[in-house]
Amino acid sequence: MKTLPVALQIYTVRDEAEKDFAGTMKKVREMGYEYVEPAGLYGIPAAEFRRILEENGLRAICAHVPIMELISDLDRTLADYRTIGCEYLAIPYLPEEMRPGTPGFAETLRQIERIGRSSKALGMPLLYHNHDFEFVKMEDGSFGLDYLYRAIPADLLQTELDVCWVKVAGQDPAAYIRRYAGRSPIVHLKDYVGEKSAHMYELIGMEQEKTEAPSTFAFRPVGYGIQDFPPILEAAVESGAQYVVVEQDAWEEPSLEAARKSRAYLRSLGW
């Protein structure tokens, strides 16, 4: 089977990157990653950020940029990520008041389309990275995620499907990738154990109202959880993806070891 380039979402090793960005990038390259996806710049100017990546044999394929950062200073933000060399830009998350099914969602659609036009003009197609909250049912019976992709033209918004959250939402990740064949240039590979719980979003650094309900959900390195990755990888290839990205939001072992395990597992499959 054809394979695709494998990138690491730097958020996976953010604890190490915050302490020593250049040293961490060196370790990431030594694991076998040649590409990365930033989620923040750690206070490093864009040109310097790119220089550090290049000195360590890495290239940024995409970046996760909060939607409010894009709304508040679109031109400067886009210019920074173009300087870094990103091929794509991704909106990684929506605040509660901007999500599908809320009164603010119409404005969210308007802003995403505006961002998509500006991003397209710079040659960086805009992507949307999902969680499970986009799988709320809309008035027309469709999921919010599908509603989003129908509302905004494909030339202004493409997908960055996160297979963990697709499965948490009760959907088949491989089938969902195929649904967006030709519109899925990047696929996020993420594994987990357990099931949907009240505490999941605490694990990705989001504040939640405290609850006494027990949590069984935990992230794992790719290949160490419940996901069936061969069909997912096959769907990514056959649907026209250009890259796959390893991401792990939280760990029960050192983050660098978790990233290493994910890369080693994919290599065991010929990736």
pLDDT on residue 209: 53
Q: What is the pTM of this model?
A: 0.93
200 pLDDT more than 60: no
* Per-residue model confidence as pLDDT tens digits over 119-169: 999 999 999 999 999 999 999 999 999 999 999 999 999 999 999 999 999
* Per-residue model confidence as pLDDT tens digits over 68-125: 999 999 999 999 999 999 999 999 999 999 999 999 999 999 999 999 999 999 999 9
Mean of pLDDT values over 249-270: 97
What's the maximum distance between 2 C-alpha atoms anywhere in the chain?
51
Spans of all domains in the chain? 6-190+222-268
What type of residue is 34?
A: E
In sequence order, the β-bridge partners of residue 192 are: 219
231 pLDDT more than 80: yes
pLDDT on residue 208: 46
What type of residue is 217?
A: F
pLDDT on residue 216: 82
pLDDT on residue 213: 47
pLDDT on residue 195: 81
* Per-residue model confidence as pLDDT tens digits over 5-36: 999 999 999 999 999 999 999 999 999 999 99
CATH fold of the domain at 6-190+222-268? TIM Barrel (3.20.20)
DSSP character string of the chain: -----EEEEGGGGHHHHHH-HHHHHHHHHHTT--EEE-S--TT--HHHHHHHHHHTT-EE---B--HHHHHHSHHHHHHHHHHHT-S-EEE----GGGSTTSTTHHHHHHHHHHHHHHHHHTT--EEEE--SGGGSB-TTSSBHHHHHHHHS-TTT-EEEEEHHHHHHTT--HHHHHHHTTTS-SEEEE-EEES---TTGGGGGT------------EEE-TTSSS--HHHHHHHHHHTT-SEEEE--S--SS-HHHHHHHHHHHHHHTT-
pLDDT on residue 204: 53
pLDDT on residue 222: 98
